Every structure is written in C-alpha cells, then in structure tokens.
Amino acid sequence: MKINDEYIVRIDKITNLGAGMCKVNDFVVFVENSCPEDKLKIKITKLNKNYANAEIVEIVEPSKYRVSPFCPMQKVCGACQLQFIDYDYQLKIKQEITQDAIRTIAGLNLEVKPTIPSPEIKNYRCKIQYPVSRTKKSARILAGYYKPKSHEIVNLKYCPIQPEVCDRIVEFVRDKAFDYGIQGFIEKNHSGDLRHVVIRHSKLTGENLVVLVVNATKTFDRLNDFAKAIFEEFSEISGVCVNFNSKKTNVILGKKTECLIGKDFIEEKLVDKIFKIGADTFFQVNPKSAENIFRYVKNYLIDNFNNPQVLDAYAGITAFGIVVSDICKNVVSVEENNSSCLLARNIIKSNKIKNIEIHNTDATKFLAEEMREFDAVILDPPRKGCTEKSLDEAFRLSKNTIIYVSCNPATLARDLKYLVKKGAIVESVQPFDMFCHTYHVENVAIIKI
C-alpha cells in the first residue's frame, strides 16, 4: 500500500472520532464522510505504521443508512460530522461507540443501553460560538465554524441546528461591524478587534445573550456604540456583553466579562427549576436533551432512595444538585470555578432551596478532606475524566452508589475500569444524544459500591 493507491472497500463501522473504518488486506483504513455498509472507491491520502487515511473517490453503492444532509454546508463545515447518516442509525452508532469503549478499555462484558434520542434534532444548539475573521482585500467580516482540521472559517449564513434568530444576529454583526469601525480578528498576526461572537439562547423565554469577544483589555467607544446597535435591532436580545481576550491562545473566552447594555444573563428551565446562564456559565448546549439526563438521574434517586444525602462533585452551577434537591435530605456541591459558585448561590436563592451547601474548591482536595458519607455521589467531570485520587475518595464517601455523568466514552471506560478494580460493580451505562449529528455522546453510568 502507498499514497494515491485506490481500492474498493466496504465500511465496517464508525470510530469514536467520527471516521468510517474498513480494512484492506487486514490493514486498517479510516475514511472521512463514510457510512457503515457504504461500498466505496477510496484513495489513500496518508500512510502510518498501523493505519492509513483515505478519501472517497466514488460512492459505488451507498449504505441504506446514508441520507441527504439537510444542511447544504455539511461537507465543508466541521460541526455536523454525521448529518448524512439516518438519525435513528446515528443513535445506534453512539451506542456502539460507547459499547466498544466499555468492552475494550474497561474490559467489561456489559450491554450498553440504546441511546435516548434528543427531543429536537434541528434548532437544538443553544450555545453558539463563531470565530470571526476578515477578508484580506475588502476587510469584510467572516463568521462561522472552522473547516475540519483547519482554522479556515466557513462563512455561515444559515445553520439549521441552532435557533433561527442566531443566524439573524450573526448576520447583523457581520454586516454592520465595519460601519462602527470594528475589524475582524486575524489570527496569524494577532490583529483586529472581534475574535468571536458567542450567543446563549433560552428555550424557555426565547431571549438571547450576545457576547462579543474582543482582542482588547478594556472597552472603547465604537464597541459600546456597536453593542447598543445590536441590542436595539433585536427584541429577542436580553443583553450584550463584551469579553476581553487579548492573549495568544485558542481559548475562546478571557477571564473578564463586562455587560455593556441590558442584562448579563438569560434564564433556562431544567425539569422544574429555573437557571440563570451568564456569558461564561457552563450549561449544556442542548437543554431539551439535558432535561432527559437530569430526569433520568432524579428518577433513579427516587426509585432507589428515601430522602438521600447526595454529593454533587464537579458541580458547575450545581445543576444536578438543584434539580434533585427536593427529593434529598441535603446536597453538598463542590465546584472549583468561583463565578459558577456565585451563580449557583443566586439560582438556589431564587428557587427558594434551603438544603444545598456549596464549596468553592478543587473537587479532589475537598473529597480527600470530607468525612461525611453520602447515599449517592454524582460525578460530572470534564472530558478528561476524574483523577484516580478523586475516584478513590468518591468510592470511600459513597455508602451505596456513584452516578457518573460523562461526555467522553473513553475516559468514562478508563475510570470505570479503575473503580471495578476497587470492588465496584457497574450496574448500567445509558447513552444520551446531546450533540445531534456529531460523533459525541453523553453517558450516565450507575455504579454500585
């Protein structure tokens, strides 16, 4: 096998990174934009020691699961890798991705449950983060998602996975920024003003919080005027904020945010609780699917405990703790981010909740020092998963159950393997489709101690 060689292949499955996988003479080949059961003519584009990458030359015989994507930009935009695959089969793929991780990484012979679908598969994405740049000659503003494996912006005018109002807001920003002397950011030489447009949309109220991420350390008159123009143009906008990020980094938001006009938050409802969401608040991008997850966790606690004591670790704005508080004796919440804790206290007060205590500290450190035992420990770590130390302490503090919520099947499986070695039993793993048309999958694992 060598570069530019062509082969006829049949795709076996989708990997955890969204590529199709097949074998040529028992050698693994990954093919982008392919679907299980596709018969394809492929061309080798990259050759490694243990695998090759290839591109599609011709679809010889399309899979029965292949469909026409509903977005005309699907092939060039990096946001919806699986949109050309039938949605019901996307759910099957996500179950299989999780199943593969549980068997190969965790070494468990456990049947993963079928993926629970998202209630909405269009207009579901309520957090939009568009990088911004400008053309070389005309300095016209560009805003959209990056092309796959690049920093080249796809200038999106329409995105069917987000609310329609977001398209209109971004279009206004794109059209009017130049009038206010606001330049798009050039990453190569770190010049220009506007780096990102971030929008937080509320399914509850229809309101939108707009955040202009700028290459600056303080606001300026033309930016204030531009923010006022955006606010006045749309009745659906609750407020316009500016976030300052002048560092040479790929991190979208800087540490400082200032509200220029209107409110600095929107409100969203999960189960029966109202949450305030700010510019930098961690909150699930798909609230309707998130509600399925929160109901699942709450119902598990109702069915298995009477007035439990619950620890909510890596709590963010204490969303899990707040949702389950009314069926718990008490909830202890642990979160390192100070602004999340401040917002959580505000949400708890506005919901008139009396039985939650919040600790603004590192989860691993808190768990190591905590002496109380809990009926259930909820772990909701970032993609990198938990530290072994935090798993040790969660195991020690839980009298009965660990509920592990994960957005990464690989690190979930790794951590389950560690807990099983300590004597835990994995009762179930339930996938949820939080990120429709992508290879990402959210899971809730129930672990008995």
407 is catalytic: yes
Q: Strand 330-335 to strand 309-313: parallel, antiparallel, or no bridges (unpaired)?
A: parallel
Q: What is the pLDDT of residues 56-74, one digit of tens each?
A: 999 999 999 999 999 999 9
Q: What is the pLDDT of residues 273-325, one digit of tens each?
A: 999 999 988 888 999 999 999 999 999 999 999 999 999 999 999 999 999 99
Q: What is the pLDDT of residues 321-369, one digit of tens each?
A: 999 999 999 999 999 988 889 999 999 999 999 999 999 999 999 999 9
Q: What is the pLDDT of residues 90-107, one digit of tens each?
A: 999 999 999 999 999 999
Give the pLDDT confidence score for residue 149 in this predicted structure. 81
Distance of CA 37 to the CA centre of its chain: 28
Nearest residue to 342 via CA among 257, 284, 241, 417: 257
Q: What is the pLDDT of residues 397-413, one digit of tens each?
A: 999 999 999 999 999 99
Q: What is the pLDDT of residues 151-185, one digit of tens each?
A: 889 999 999 999 999 999 999 999 999 999 999 99
Q: Is the pLDDT at 78 greater than 90, yes or no?
A: no
Give the pLDDT confidence score for residue 138 in this predicted structure. 84
**54: CB partners within 8 A, 6+ apart:** 7, 29, 30, 31, 42, 43, 44, 45
Question: If pLDDT is split at 50, 70 and 90, which confidence band does 75 have?
Answer: confident
Strand order in the sheet with 6-10: 6-10, 39-47, 51-61, 27-31, 20-24, 13-14
Nearest residue to 334 via CA among 385, 394, 287: 394
Q: Is the pLDDT at 136 greater than 90, yes or no?
A: no
Give the pLDDT confidence score for residue 151 in this predicted structure. 87
Q: Is the pLDDT at 139 greater than 90, yes or no?
A: no
Question: If pLDDT is split at 50, 70 and 90, which confidence band does 137 have?
Answer: confident
Question: If pLDDT is split at 50, 70 and 90, which confidence band does 116 have?
Answer: very high
Mean pLDDT of all residues belonging to the chain? 96
| pTM of the predicted model as reported, rounded to 2 decimal places | 0.93
For residue 400, what are its two tokens? 């009965």
Q: Which helix or strand (DSSP H or E) is residue 378 part of?
A: strand 374-379
Residue 138 near residue 121, CB atoms below 8 Å: no
Question: If pLDDT is split at 50, 70 and 90, which confidence band does 5 have?
Answer: very high
d(CA 277, CA 268): 7
Convert 380-406 into a string of H (helix), E (strand) and C (coil): CCCCCCCCHHHHHHHHHHEEEEEEEEE
Buried/exposed code over 276-313 (b: 16+ C-beta within 10 A; e: otherwise)? bbbbbbbbbbbbebbbbbbebbbebbeeebeebbbbbb
Q: Is the pLDDT at 121 greater than 90, yes or no?
A: yes
Give the pLDDT confidence score for residue 301 in this predicted structure. 98
Residue 199 near residue 207, CB atoms below 8 Å: no
Q: What is the pLDDT of residues 249-271, one digit of tens each?
A: 999 999 999 999 999 999 999 99
d(CA 428, CA 444): 8
**Structure-token match 């938050």, residue found:** 265
The dihedrals phi and psi of 26, each to the nearest 5 degrees, come to: 70, 10
User: Which domains are present in the chain?
Assistant: 6-66 (2.40.50.140), 91-120+289-448 (3.40.50.150), 127-270 (2.40.50.1070)
Catalytic residue selected from 22, 35, 386, 407? 407
Nearest residue to 311 via CA among 230, 231, 238, 403: 403
Give the pLDDT confidence score for residue 288 in this predicted structure. 96
Q: Is the pLDDT at 14 greater than 90, yes or no?
A: yes
